[in-house]
Structure 1
Amino acid sequence: MPHLLLEYTKNLNLLDEQEVLLRLNKALFGSGQFDEIDIKARAVALDDFVIGVTPAGRAFVHAKLSLSSGRSPEVKRDLSSALLQELRSIFSGPSNHHIQLCAEIIDIDRDSYAKDMIAPSS
């Protein structure tokens, strides 16, 4: 834990998904809430989307961070703010699109979440 899912509209032509995910992971690690190895991130480019009723020239980036339940509202607010700040930095340059940036925190029930790790052979 945590799991970060970054969804973005393909019209943004996000060139380097790996770099964006790495920057978001660093922001999460910098929060002090997670061990570095536990942060898992992936990106999904959306081919089909509609924003409002005039989709031309519009785009969005939505970061969903799934966490084990139990963190305070303040910690969750700090995490969503850190993600949003990093997204603003990434998409701060000139754009041909009106871009909406979102960050969402989702609680995962600790009692039903299962995890195991397999270490590399030495």
Structure 2
Amino acid sequence: MPHLTLEYTDNLSALPLRPLLHALNQRLIASGQFSGPDIKSRALPLTQYLVGDQDDGQAFVHLRLALLDGRDDAVKLALSTALLQILQQQVTAPDGCALQLCVEVCDIHRASYAKHSS
């Protein structure tokens, strides 16, 4: 735990995915909340999307951090703020394209989460 899912519009083709995932994972480790091997990150391009009613000229990155429940709101806010800073540093919009960056922290119900490692 945690699970980090980066969804991005496919018009962000120059997105530095591997360095971005490394930077996000490093920030999570630096928070002191997680150890490296527990963090599972992935990036998913979105080929079908719509922002408002605009068919083009729009891009977004939505980062979801899923954590086992039990952390207080202050910790979650610190994590989302830190991850948003990484996005702001590393994600740029193509010319003529508006960009939205967002981070969501959500809880995974601890009592029903199952995991196996070997």
TMscore range, shorter length: over 0.9
Cα shift at 1:55: 3.0
* Closer/same/farther in 2, CA of residues 80 and 15 from structure 1, 3 Å limit: closer
For the pair 1:8 / 2:40, whether they are aligned, the reply is: no
What's the C-alpha RMSD, in Å, of the aligned pairs?
1.2
What is aligned with 1:102?
Answer: 102
Residue aligned with 1:12, SS: coil
Residue aligned with 2:56, SS: coil
Residue aligned with 1:49, SS: coil
Residue aligned with 2:11, SS: helix
What is aligned with 1:83?
Answer: 83
Query: Would you say how many aligned residue pairs link Structure 1 and Structure 2?
Result: 117
What is aligned with 2:22?
Answer: 22
Residue aligned with 1:61, SS: strand
Q: Deviations over 1:30-71 (max 9, x none)?
A: 111001110110000001100011231110000000000000
Structure 1 stretches of 4+ moved >6 Å: none
Structure 1 residues not aligned, in runs of 5+: none
Q: How does 1:31-110 map to 2 (within 5 A)?
A: 31-91=31-91, 93=92, 95-96=94-95, 97-110=97-110
Structure 2 residues not aligned, in runs of 5+: none
Following the alignment from structure 2 to structure 1, what is the Cα–Cα distance between the partners of residues 3 and 88? 20
Partner amino acid, structure 1, of 2:66? S
Q: Do the aligned residues in 1 keep the contact of 2:8 with 2:62 (CA within 8 Å)? A: yes
Cα shift at 1:16: 3.2
Cα shift at 1:94: 6.3
* Identical residues among aligned pairs (%): 47
* Closer/same/farther in 2, CA of residues 42 and 74 from structure 1, 3 Å limit: same
Partner amino acid, structure 2, of 1:49? Y
Q: Larger Rg: 1 or 2?
A: 1
- TM-score (structure 1 length as normaliser): 0.91
